[in-house]
C-alpha cells in the first residue's frame, strides 16, 4: 500500500477490525456486481470508494430519465448510455485506481459460470427471479458468497447466501424456483427512492466485511425492511436438505 492509499483509506485503517491488513484484502478483492440500477448504484459506488481492487459490473440496460429518481450512479447527461459504463465513469471520478470492467449484456448461465468463478464475492442487484436463480446456481457451483438484495415499493430485503458454511442456505432454499411468487417491477409498482440506497448500502457493507474477513455476515438470516414505518424483521433460515441446488452439499 503506497502513501496515497494510506491517506485515502485512512479512516478504514484506523478501525481496529480492518486496519492495514483488512484494507489490503479489500484492495486485492474482486467483486462481481449484477445490475447497475437502483441497488447496483450504491453498491458500485461504495465498493469503489472503499477501494475494492476489481469490480466487474454487469447490466444490459441503458439509462432512462425515470431511473434518475433513485439510481444515483447516473446523471441526465448519460440518458441513453449503458448503465454499466455510466457507473464506471462515476466510480472513476471518485477513485480512478479501481479497475471497473463494464459488461453490457444479460447475466446468462454461460457468462455467470466464468465470471462468478473469477470473483471473490458476488452481489445480486438484479430485479427478476430468473436472474437471481441463475446467479445463485453459479455461486453454489463455484463456492462463492452471494450478497442478495431486493427492493420494491416500500419493502426491502437483504441476506447473504454462503454455502461454504454447511448450515447456511442458498437463495433457492428460501425462494424455490418452482414456487409461485408474484414478480412486480418498478415500472408498474414504483419504488421509494431511498429504499434502494438503504438496501444497496447494506449489500456493499456485507461484501466489504466478507472481503476484509471481519465481523459476521447475514448468512442464514433474512432481514426485511418496511420503510413506511422503518421497522426491520429478521428470520433465521436453515439449509434445506432436499434443495435441488445446494442440498447435495450437506
Using alpha carbons, select from 108, 149, 145, 109 the residue that is nearest to residue 127: 149
Please report, to the nearest 10 degrees, the dihedral formed by the alpha carbons of residues 82, 144, 223, 47 taken in order.
-50
Given 125, 170, 173, 186, the catalytic residue = 186
117 Cβ partners below 8 Å, 6+ apart? Answer: 138, 142, 144
What ranges in the chain are assigned the alpha helix state H? Answer: 3-8, 10-13, 19-27, 40-50, 83-94, 109-118, 129-142, 171-174, 186-189, 193-212
Task: Please give the Cα distance from 87 to 48 (Å, whole number).
Answer: 10
Start-to-end CA distance of the chain, whole Å, equals: 40
Q: Which three cell numbers stand for residue 43?
A: 453498491
Residue 170 is among the residues annotated as catalytic for this protein: no
Could you tell me which residues are beta bridge partners of residue 219?
A: 160
> Catalytic site residues?
186
Amino acid at each position: 500500500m503506497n502513501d496515497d492509499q494510506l491517506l485515502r483509506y485512512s479512516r478504514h485503517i484506523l478501525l481496529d477490525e480492518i486496519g492495514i491488513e483488512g484494507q489490503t484484502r479489500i484492495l486485492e478483492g474482486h467483486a462481481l456486481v449484477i445490475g447497475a440500477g437502483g441497488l447496483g448504484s450504491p453498491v458500485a459506488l461504495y465498493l469503489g470508494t472503499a477501494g475494492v481492487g476489481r469490480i466487474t459490473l454487469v447490466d444490459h440496460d441503458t439509462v432512462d430519465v425515470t431511473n434518475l429518481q433513485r439510481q444515483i450512479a447516473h446523471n441526465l447527461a448519460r440518458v441513453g448510455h449503458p448503465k454499466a459504463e455510466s457507473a464506471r465513469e462515476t466510480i472513476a471520478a471518485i477513485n480512478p485506481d479501481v479497475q471497473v470492467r463494464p459488461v453490457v449484456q444479460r447475466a446468462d448461465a454461460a457468462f455467470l459460470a466464468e465470471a462468478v468463478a473469477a470473483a471473490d464475492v458476488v452481489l445480486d442487484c438484479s430485479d427478476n427471479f430468473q436472474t437471481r436463480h441463475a446467479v445463485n446456481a453459479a455461486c453454489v457451483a463455484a463456492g462463492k458468497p452471494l450478497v442478495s438484495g431486493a427492493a420494491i415499493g416500500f419493502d426491502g430485503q437483504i441476506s447473504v447466501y454462503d454455502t461454504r458454511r454447511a448450515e447456511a442456505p442458498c437463495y433457492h432454499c428460501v425462494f424455490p424456483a418452482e414456487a409461485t411468487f408474484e414478480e412486480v417491477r418498478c415500472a408498474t409498482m414504483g419504488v421509494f427512492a431511498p429504499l434502494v440506497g438503504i438496501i444497496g448500502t447494506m449489500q456493499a457493507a456485507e461484501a466489504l466485511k466478507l472481503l476484509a474477513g471481519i465481523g459476521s455476515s447475514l448468512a442464514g438470516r433474512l432481514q426485511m425492511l418496511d420503510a413506511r414505518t422503518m421497522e426491520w424483521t429478521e428470520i433465521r433460515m436453515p439449509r434445506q436438505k432436499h434443495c435441488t441446488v445446494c442440498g447435495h452439499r450437506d
